[in-house]
């Protein structure tokens, strides 16, 4: 019975992904001014579903269809894999620091699922990958139709240094499935992943997102939830100046989202102290983990 249900969910997800894949992309060459302002080369796809006349806009469509290493944006589906296999049981399970001193101080401590996502603690996800194994990872990737679905690698982590690759357009398709709980995973696991993706919120909007960086290309993917519907986004840029370029990922995306009123002006963002009043509970965001690490 469980197999039949998962098969049905996968079929629905595949049909939804296929229908979205046929959407006509609206060219937004005018967004070049924003990329130029930040001296960046890249692409962004924005799928606005706040009205019945949904629109998907793109800057540099050719690049938006080109696949790159997902880097730490892969922590989104990877967490689903880990929950499904039992590599992690819930958001409270603690992973003891192995004592290896890494470049980012926040990595050098015990982690749980929330901190591992927030701090992009790669070593925790390396534990997950070891327990999941390449064969099961490949099976999950194929079920999700995630990029090229290839978890092989000659050295390093397959989502950073290996063969796994995904395009900005494909990121949008995956995020849409997660938003609607339509992925072939337990609904409670999808809801948990969305909860630990929260970056910030206002009285009537929530921003869920994840950064990524493989040393060459930087990502920021996610969506903004509004009462009228979500606005999905997937950006990637070249990072020739390496860490000096990483703050551009969010800066460019936020500027574009504000230009279409998918994010409010800066002064309307809620301070952390007000999150509880909004009924949202999650740890304070570590800005350095978002700006300077994968």
Active-site residue set: 72
132: tokens are 């999941």
Measured distance CA(134)–CA(123) in Å, rounded? 17
Measured distance CA(109)–CA(123) in Å, rounded? 11
């Amino acid at each position: 019975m469980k197999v039949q249900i998962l098969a049905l969910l996968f079929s629905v997800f595949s049909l939804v992904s296929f229908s979205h894949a046929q959407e006509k992309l609206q060219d937004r060459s005018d967004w070049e001014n924003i990329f130029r302002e930040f001296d960046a080369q890249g692409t962004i796809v924005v799928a606005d579903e706040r009205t019945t006349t949904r629109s998907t806009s793109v800057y540099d469509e050719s690049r938006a269809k080109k696949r790159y290493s997902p880097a730490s944006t892969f922590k989104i589906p990877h967490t689903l894999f880990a929950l499904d296999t039992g590599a992690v049981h819930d958001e409270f399970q603690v992973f003891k620091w192995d004592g290896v001193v890494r470049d980012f101080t926040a990595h050098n401590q015990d982690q749980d699922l929330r901190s591992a996502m927030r701090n992009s603690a790669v070593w925790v996800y390396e534990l997950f990958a070891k327990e999941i194994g390449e064969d099961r990872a490949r099976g999950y990737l194929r079920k999700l139709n995630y990029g090229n679905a290839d978890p092989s690698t000659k050295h390093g982590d397959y989502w950073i240094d290996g063969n796994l690759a995904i395009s900005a357009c494909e990121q949008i398709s995956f995020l849409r499935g997660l938003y609607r709980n339509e992925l072939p995973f337990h609904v409670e696991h999808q809801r948990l992943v969305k909860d630990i993706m929260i970056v910030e919120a206002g009285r009537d909007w929530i921003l869920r997102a994840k950064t990524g960086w493989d040393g060459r290309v930087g990502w920021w993917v996610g969506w903004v939830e509004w009462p009228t519907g979500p606005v999905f986004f997937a950006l990637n840029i070249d990072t020739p100046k390496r860490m000096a370029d990483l703050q551009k990922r969010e800066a460019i995306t936020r500027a574009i989202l504000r230009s279409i009123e998918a994010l409010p002006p800066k002064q309307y963002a809620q301070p952390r102290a007000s999150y509880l009043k909004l009924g949202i509970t999650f740890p304070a965001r570590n800005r350095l983990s978002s700006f300077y690490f994968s």
